[in-house]
Amino acid sequence: MAIILRQRALDDYYKNPTLCKECGCVIEVGDRKVREVRKKKFCNRSCGAKYHNKTRLRKPKKLPRKRVRKDRSWGWLENCTKKQVFDKHVNWQSARSSIRVHAQFVYNSFNGGNRVCENCGYSKHIEVCHIKGVSEFGDDVLISVINNNDNLVGLCPNCHWEFDHNVLILRDRVTG
């Protein structure tokens, strides 16, 4: 008897089937009960998502902000002595870092973007090195003297390490 009732329910359903709101296809009964299928509005989850996403208000995507580096004016640093720079900064490392960044600026401006190790010719990564170290200068020496282009050299990391540990001697440069 249950088989006959199910078949009647299926026949009644397919005379007036429920249609998907998105694609307009007939929602198939399959193994489910007919009364459950009558409640459905979409043939599958994909159609339901498409239908509901049409009316959803979309917020515009926020693009990641590009960090714009403003041209830094190094005039204040060039006219300071080494002692003034170390007194102005919170700790030793930040003062040393500002001297190093200024040295990179000076080196790049004089060498016109020529980024090649002056010892071995390596061009992937160059570090700006002081020929006469910052610690060898007195406290009353101007930063413009410490970071003079004649005191700066571009070296690859290996040559820089060798130079700092007195393994490498630069023959073309006269240390003063």
Segment 15-26 mean pLDDT = 90
Give, in words, the CATH class of 2-55. alpha beta
pLDDT at residue 110 greater than cutoff 50: yes
Segment 145-166 mean pLDDT = 91
Our measurement of the distance from residue 49's CA atom to the centroid of its chain's CA atoms, rounded to an integer in Å, reads: 33
Confidence of residue 176 (pLDDT cuts 50, 70, 90): very low
Segment 127-151 mean pLDDT = 90
10 Å CB burial of residue 137 (0-12, 13-18, 19+) is: middle
Instruction: Look at residues 135, 136, 128, 132 and name the one whose alpha carbon lies nearest to residue 157.
Output: 128
Segment 29-50 mean pLDDT = 88
Outline which parts of the chain fall under CATH 3.30.60.
2-55
pLDDT at residue 85 greater than cutoff 70: yes
Instruction: Look at residues 17, 7, 6 and name the one whose alpha carbon lies nearest to residue 41.
Output: 17
User: What does each C-alpha distance from 77 to 55, 71, 99, 170 come to in angstroms?
Assistant: 58, 14, 8, 28
Taking the C-alpha atoms of residue 10 and residue 110, their distance in angstroms, rounded to an integer, is 87
Q: What percent of the chain has pLDDT over 90?
A: 17
Most confident range, picked from 49-63, 73-87, 147-161: 147-161
